[in-house]
Structure 1
Amino acid sequence: MIVPFAAGGGSDLAGRSIAAALEKAQPGLKVTVENRDGGSGAVGYSALLGKKGNGNYLLATENAILSLPISGQVSFTRKDFTPVAKLAEDGGILVVKKDSPFKTCTDVVNAAKSGRVSVGMSGAYGVDNVIFTLIEQKTGVTFQRVPFESGGELVPAVLGGQVQVALLNPGEVIGQFRSGDLRGLCVTTDERYTYPELASLGTAKEQGIDVSYVQFRGILGAGGLDEREKAYWVQAAKGITRTAEFQKWLKDNYLQQSELYGDDFAAYLEQLDTALAPLLKKPS
């Protein structure tokens, strides 16, 4: 199981939890997790690209499989891989350190209208970039982006004042919320979280910023798999959500279960790709 981001972030947590659940769902199967970070996910996806036709490799996928190709950063596309399963959705929270003057996401936008606001994000072309781009388009502001390789690097960056605001998944910052070292400003989901620790956080839409976007978590296989291999992994993935390991990951990291398999997952990726293209594609 290739994880295309560094250890400690949301993608790493997802990959390791999915691997453990896959082992439980398929007795006798051994899944080894390998972090191949770099290039905002490009290094990991390229590693899987090189395993074409090999059914022994999987990748813990998220929205970078779409945003990297659209942004012109890589030569591959989603069609070079085998969609296995979408398993969950992972929302985003704009966070600041405890002594920040920002109390809401509206405060951040207003500050950016008259000055410089630095925002930290995991990867230069992933889901965080999409959300900040959407906010910029809706409000007319421009942020100073500072990319990091994972949420594991981004948390200490916002704590240390390297960036004023960061966009992180709940599971990456819940410990800092509990300790009081970080504060949430708003969530980028359609509706508020029902988890008690996050229920008080308003959505961006509630604060007058008409933006909603979440990150999916799932599995890709290498490209060029035969129908037997594809069917094996799709069937194996269907057992993941029934495991205690998977349900614990959802609960501990504040995700929402959301399942699509095989061709249905492929259709979802195509729809999302079409929606993102005009947003991210660089002018020729």
Structure 2
Amino acid sequence: MTSPLRAVRRLAGATALVTALTSCTLLNATPEVPKDWHPRGSVSALVAFAPGGGSDRSARVMAQGLNELDGGYHVNVENKEGGSGAVGWAGFLAEEGNGNALLVAEGALNTLPLVYDVPFTYKSFTPLMMFAQDSRIVVARKDSPYKTCPDVARAAREKRVVTGSSGKTGADALVIGKFKKQGGKFGVVPYGSTGEVLTGLLGKQIDIAPSSASSAKPYLQSGDMKALCTMTAKRYDDPVLGKVPTAKEQGLDAEVTLWRGVFAPAGIDDVQRRYWIRSLERAMRSKAYHEYLKADMLTPAHRSGPEFAAYLKRYDARVKEDLK
């Protein structure tokens, strides 16, 4: 039979153990995010591509818009290039739970995991805001026998048509996928950027080239190239490019969209997510943002939070079909 003294000692020991375990749990617990949370100091905005490209420009515009809000923090763009975006996006996984980190990404975040074995998908991050949409225009040299995109599709059924591509996972790859679905043979020469693709076209290394509208426009104005079609839903609102018919107008079921948007790491608090969505909405009112849309000939977009997530799910299903 246990003596009363021994029972008291056991109870005291058990109480001490519970107290110690509780203290340990509290020490290791993640502090609750206050309801009035806002970032302080330096906020990183990661771009998984080199400075000077489309993703880098979009990140710097969004960072400028956020910094103009004077919210007590400063957004710094950080470039971590390599592996067609894989290096930067894989590195961003380590920011899980960090409300002071942002990621500016684009459609290749959907397509890259379809082509390469990478440790992430678009679902690995928290979607905040889709702020723009890009597409592609298909061009050829001024002396090319092709006048339209259906001309290219028909020619590819009889002989190999060579095109350039600035990557296996971006908008260029989606354009090529649309052509391949028409049947025919296509050869693809890889390049590091849209500028290099267009240089290759002028140098007669390739027959046709998908390009961003802003990159192709000067060559169309100079007469060195001609436009075959756009892959947009409707024609560009532009004196030069507005004359170019869409692929759909020409009878091809071919539309290509490249989204641009901002993410936070996985595991952030809902308070932090809402803060960044509100701030990005305000940043999209800036003069720099609207000048950027005009200069890069982009379509404005505004899909935030759950709406952006739903769009990404639909987009992912669509590009899986395009890249089959």
Aligned residue in 1 for 2:213: 170
Indicate which of 97, 117, 128 corresponds to 1:53: 97
Q: Unaligned regions of 5+ residues in structure 1, if any?
A: none
2: distance between equivalents of 1:75 and 1:144? Answer: 30
Distance 1:98 1:54, change over 3 A: farther
Match of 1:87 in 2: 131
Residues of 2 paired with 1:48 and 1:182: CA distance? 40
Question: Relative to structure 1, is the Cα distance of residues 260 and 102 closer, same or farther in structure 2, using a 3 angstrom cutoff?
Answer: same
Identity across aligned pairs (percent)? 39
Q: Does 1:33 align with 2:77?
A: yes
Task: Note the aligned Cα RMSD (angstroms).
Answer: 2.1
Q: Which blocks of at least 5 consecutive residues in structure 2 are unaligned?
A: 1-44
CA spacing shift, 1:242–1:136, aligned 2, 3 Å? same
Residue 269 of structure 2 is aligned with which of 210, 223, 226? Answer: 226
Cα distance change of structure 1 residues 15 and 97 upon mapping to structure 2, 3 Å threshold: farther
**Structure-2 separation of matches of 1:247 and 1:211:** 28
Once the two structures are superposed, the pairs formed by residues 78-227 of structure 1 within 5 Å of their partners are 78-137=122-181, 139-227=182-270
Cα offset, 1:261, TM superposition: 0.7
Kindly state the Cα deviation for residue 165 of structure 1 after the two structures are TM-superposed: 1.7
1:252 maps onto 2:295 in alignment: yes
**Conserved? CA contact 2:160–2:187, under 8 Å:** yes
Partner SS for 1:189 = coil
Distance 2:286 2:126 in 1: 23
Q: Distance in 1 between matches of 2:84 and 2:281?
A: 29
Cα 1:74–1:149 shift into 2, 3 Å: farther
Q: Is the 8 A contact 1:187 1:201 kept in 2?
A: yes
> Highest relative contact order (Cα 8 Å, sep 6+), 1 or 2?
1
- Quote the offset at 1:26 in angstroms: 4.6
Check the 8 A contact 1:89/1:256 in 2, yes or no.
yes
- In structure 2, the residue corresponding to 1:100 is in which secondary structure? coil
Q: Judging changes above 3 Å, is the alpha-carbon distance between structure 1 residues 119 and 36 closer, same or farther for their aligned structure 2 residues?
A: farther
Question: 1:161-191 CA distances to partner (integer Å, 9 max, x unpaired)?
Answer: 3322221211233333333333321100121
Work out which of the residue numbers 100, 117, 129 in structure 2 matches 1:73: 117
> What's the CA shift for 1:230?
1.6
Within 1, Cα distance between the matches of 2:94 and 2:123?
A: 14
- Corresponding letter in the other structure for 1:206: E
The TM-score with structure 1 as length reference comes to 0.89
Instruction: Count matched residues.
Output: 280
The whole-number CA distance in structure 2 between the counterparts of 1:162 and 1:6 is 25
Shift of 1:109: 1.7
Structure 1 residue 77: deviation in Å? 1.2
Change (3 A) 1:240 1:184: farther
Letter in 2 for 1:184: A
Q: 1:130 to 1:224 in 2, by over 3 A?
A: same
